A and B are shown apart, each in its own frame.
Chain A
Amino acid sequence: MNKLFCILIQLFLLSSLQARVLPVGKGKQFITIKTAITQARKGDTVMVYSGIYREKNIVLDKPITLIGIDYPVLDGEYRYEVISIKSSGVTVKGCKIIQSGISSMEDFAGIKIYNCRDVVIRENILENTFFGIYSQYGTNCTIEKNKLTASQKEEQQSGNGIHCWKSDSMRIIANEITGHRDGIYFEFVTNSIIWRNDSEKNLRYGLHFMFSSNDSYIANIFKNNGAGVSVMFSHDVKMIHNYFEENWGDGSYGILLKEISDGYIEHNRFVKNTVGIYMEGTSRIQMNGNVFERNGWAMKIQASCMDITVTGNNFINNTFDMATNGSLVLNTFNGNYWDKYEGYDLNRDHIGDVPYRPVSMYSVIVEKNPPVMILFRSFITSLLDKTEKVLPSLTPENFKDAFPLMKPLRL
């Protein structure tokens, strides 16, 4: 009898340990998500079937999995934060989250992570949320394959798509973000990766990086954002294989680098931006294998930058290759291909025999006096440019590529 009792107890314990599935929906065990969550125990799965759920703020405060089947709609009615994650180990998958509250006092989000770790947010659709996915003190979380769309016109009315603040070891993978203020926003985020995201048509930046070190962003597309991408006050940031396209306008940049050090910018493509890369107070950056095509300015390197190494890049069809604001040059620009190079190669080693000066006199003048742009490509300015090439006086003497390539690199 005693033995049997023991076995029974063990069985009971086992069954209690086993994760249950709690279905939510019309004609299912639970009608609302909230009741299912209160009933759920650690490790359970809440399956939400399709339908519209208006349940104000849903708080996930235990390590459970919330899965939407056929994208159930979770509506915040423009008043509430839709999902708040307050426990580690939560997974949210396959939900359609719409219309979170909009506030200038609180940061309402579609999904917000509060001080926890190992959260997975995957394959959700977020529409018209203020902030999309917000991580506050999150650690080791994965935000993957979500689709975020917002349609506000004013920056104040819109939050950021994926917003991470004081987080660590985040993985932001393959999300699509449009129409938010900043597509992806990082502040005090370390050791994280942003991979294969598509951030387009956001009101301000496609990607906004502040005080975030030891991060990488790889193979993302940043297209047609109000002000491009901005990376500031960080070190050890790696930017590899990204696309920066059509970031147009005054103060719009492919990448804006400010107070950045020890980074890598490799194998990126900058196409049709007003300014491909703008650097200010930047040091120790390695740049190679990038392609700059049809930009207004491929690069603007301010004199406050040092130890920037630009080698093995292609500069094709840019209006201006380089611009700078002073005569001090502490950077090297050797071994790139410049389509404006007019030198020769007598010994046939595919390296031009005379150095190339990427800063034209006209770009120096325009930098000092922007309205001169109205005379661009006129006879007199090309005449001045030619004289400057023969006798450099205005352009910085050391700003040159001593080994310009004769043929474009295959990139």
Chain B
Amino acid sequence: MDHFPNYWGMPPQESFDRYNIFQDKTKNNAISDPTTNTKQPIVTGTSVIAFKYKDASFGSLARYREVERLYPVGEYTVLASSGDFSDFQYVKHTLDKIMTKEYYTNDGHILGTPHIYEYLSQVMYHRRSKLNPLWNAFVVGGYHNGEGYLGYVNLLGTTFQASTITTGIGMYMASPLLRKAVEGHEDTLTEAEAVDLVEQVMRVLYYRDSQSINRYQRAKITAQGVEISPLLSAPTDWSIGKDLRGYQ
């Protein structure tokens, strides 16, 4: 039954209906309107970069103001997102739910990085197949069975694993830098070198990606678990600017 007397056969009162706490059912009502799906992202974040190095995998990203886009899932996994922020929040919530269920089942089994990655990939592909995508590119990084693990999945459900992964504009600009530094050196790259590499790549992204600001976070995942850094900035040098000619 309809519990709102306003709806009981009253003709619409143009003069006061729009001030009413009850919505006119015939106008702009979430229940009666046709179903709509996301056609474009709204609040977005830019690049994520990630790579493997000696006994760990490593994630990082440029930030959108103070908004965190690195999120730990369980003890050995970090989820990094670029793209729509509300969809990222939804995914965080969903993953938290399944991790909580894992925890209270209490049988010695906890979803590891590959399992979380598979689940997320299935969710992403399923949503694209309903033509109602989660507008993100995700990187899942972690440490599982003595090895670093990195996986990518995006709004189409496209997946791949590699020793270096980037998203967004970073796919154009950071990929070559990372591949050159990391591929073939996954077992020898030290943590200090990895930290330097992140800073170098973040600086390039800040210089060239107009959507970015110079704030990023870095996650490190090792056998000891997840460490997410506080806010970082890459030192930049704009002194060349005064010598530029022709752009006023």
Q: Please determine whether chains A and B interact with each other in the same assembly.
A: no
Give residues in B with beta carbon < 8 Å to A.
none
